A = this chain, B = another copy of it.
Amino acid sequence: MSAYLEDLVIGEEVEYGAYTFTAEDIKRFAAAYDPQRFHLDEEEGRKTHFGGLVASGWHTAAVWMKVYVAHQQRLDAADRAAGRPSAQRGPSPGFRELKWLRPVRPGDTLTYRGRIMSARPSASRPGWGLVERFNWAENQDGERVFEFVSVAFLERRPGA
């Protein structure tokens, strides 16, 4: 079920989903947005401290969004199927403390998860609240490779 602000449980963890990075994905993102040699070519990557081809950090972040949106769309679809309303999600004013902790290499499968840090009514937007989440990704070896704190608007329960 898509949660309204009042439904959120502080500290609750959610698994958004998983994504496997292929060499083709890594090179396609890099060619468009981050054409550094260690993101474009295995051999060139081997000459650097990375020791091989690695994903752009912005690619790891963009895939977080992809996996998170797919998760939310599954919740919305379940609401529609059950005839329930879905909470509207608003824009994000920005993010904090993003860390790229370890390289992401071809064949790595990242599992993205999040934990609710805080939820509070918005002072400036009636009917809306602001949600802080700690988000992270682990690879198939259980190593954390990525984390950041997101902030986003979320609809309050009507009548709340």
Contacts and interface: CB of A to CB of B under 8 A. Distances in A.
A50 B35 CA distance: 31
Copies of the polypeptide in the assembly = 2
Contact of A99 (B57, B58, B62, B94): B94
Is chain A's binding surface mostly helix, strand, loop or mixed? mixed
Given A49-B91, A93-B99, 16 more contacts: A33-B62, A34-B65, A35-B69, A35-B73, A49-B90, A50-B91, A57-B91, A57-B92, A57-B94, A58-B58, A58-B61, A61-B61, A92-B100, A94-B97, A94-B99, A94-B148
Q: Return the 10 tightest CB-CB contacts between A and B, nearest first.
A: A94-B99, A33-B62, A95-B98, A34-B65, A33-B66, A94-B98, A58-B62, A58-B65, A33-B65, A94-B100
